[in-house]
Amino acid sequence: MIYAPRKLVYPFFVVIFLIAFLSVLYLVALSQSIEVNNPSVSILGSDVVVKMNLKNKSMHAVDEIKVVVKSNSEERSFYIKGGSLQSSSLDAGESYDFVALMPLTENTKYTVNVSAPFNKPISIDFALEESTIDPVKAEVSIPSEIKLNEKIDYVVKFCNVSGTDLPEVIWLERAEEGVFKEVFFERSIALKVSECKSIHSILTPAKLGQVTIGFTMTIGSIEKKSSKILNVVE
């Protein structure tokens, strides 16, 4: 039996260990099999739309691809194709057009992270226009002084200042019980790009003095509240 001297065995194992360690380090930190092309974040109605083309530029399949979209108030994870971990893969050279929807909120900044095991994560930052979180301007035409028990017909004008059609804008008046005789209920309108529409409302004050009428406008996950103080006289 032939025995190798220890001085030769130890360096051999050190070299093998270094090769294995560097290989794992490369796979974890340096491998970049996924390529992201044409990433974008836009607004469609009351949704945030995330789009990008994902391409596997390697010679092997990449599995468990995950896309995470983050904003200040929300984080959502998505898988490609069938929407499950098992189907979220790309074969060698394959490309896929990824699309995901998130509810529109009052955040303008988003970060999209694309990751997969043994691949270096890809992070992309987006900033939306300020008009996307304030897509509708509402103008309430109501006199500041009204008479007790007298019906007031007033107009609310809505204008779509965003760059997309809005299929549903919900409007609701609100006030303390007994201040007005009306029972308030939600109403909704649809607004095309740059379109303005008006709705008519009626108020009948039932209480003297200063009263407050409030308004809530809802577009997707965005909720805008405002109010107006009225002086009710005899």
Q: Are residues 121 and 147 in the same domain?
A: no
Decide if 178 is inside a domain: yes
What percent of the chain has pLDDT above 90? 48
Domain's final residue, options 130, 151, 173 = 130
CA dihedral 157, 163, 164, 168 (to 10 degrees): -30
Q: Are residues 167 and 90 in the same domain?
A: no
Lowest mean pLDDT among 3-17, 51-65, 130-144, 193-207: 3-17
pLDDT at 25 over 60: no
Q: Are residues 229 and 138 in the same domain?
A: yes
Domain's final residue, options 82, 112, 130 = 130
Q: Are residues 192 and 167 in the same domain?
A: yes
Q: Are residues 39 and 123 in the same domain?
A: yes
Decide if 18 is inside a domain: no
Whole-number Å distance between alpha carbons of 143 and 145: 5
Q: Are residues 123 and 153 in the same domain?
A: no
Domain's final residue, options 130, 146, 175 = 130
For 70-76, the CB contacts below 8 A with 24+ separation are: 70/110, 70/111, 70/112, 70/113, 71/102, 71/105, 71/107, 71/109, 71/110, 71/111, 72/107, 72/109, 73/105, 73/106, 73/107, 74/102, 74/103, 74/105, 74/107, 76/100, 76/102
CATH number at residue 88: 2.60.40.10
What is the predicted pLDDT for the residue at 10? 55
Decide if 5 is inside a domain: no
How many structural domains is the chain composed of? 2
Whole-number Å distance between alpha carbons of 194 and 209: 39
Q: Are residues 108 and 43 in the same domain?
A: yes
pLDDT digits (tens, 9 = 90+) for 163-182: 788 899 999 999 999 999 99
Any idea what DSSP says for residue 180?
B
Decide if 26 is inside a domain: no
Decide if 11 is inside a domain: no
Nearest to 188 by CA among 216, 169, 215: 169
Q: Are residues 86 and 143 in the same domain?
A: no
Q: Are residues 154 and 216 in the same domain?
A: yes
Nearest to 67 by CA among 123, 115, 126, 118: 115
Q: Are residues 179 and 221 in the same domain?
A: yes
Residue 64 gets the label, from left (phi > 0), alpha (psi -120 to 50) or beta, of left
Whole-number Å distance between alpha carbons of 148 and 233: 6
Whole-number Å distance between alpha carbons of 138 and 218: 11
Q: Are residues 97 and 154 in the same domain?
A: no
Mean pLDDT computed over every residue of the chain: 84
Q: Would you call 30 helix, strand, or coil by DSSP?
A: helix
CA–centroid distance for 117 within its chain: 26
Q: Are residues 42 and 99 in the same domain?
A: yes
Direct distance between the N- and C-terminal alpha carbons of the chain, in angstroms, rounded to an integer: 117
What is the predicted pLDDT for the residue at 11? 62
pLDDT digits (tens, 9 = 90+) for 70-81: 887 788 899 988
Decide if 170 is inside a domain: yes
pTM, full prediction: 0.59
Highest mean pLDDT among 5-14, 16-25, 165-174: 165-174
The answer to whether the CB of 170 falls within 8 A of the CB of 135 is no
Nearest to 163 by CA among 132, 127, 126: 132
**Residue 223: in which H helix or E strand, if any?**
strand 222-233
List the domain range (segments joined by +) for residue 102. Answer: 35-130
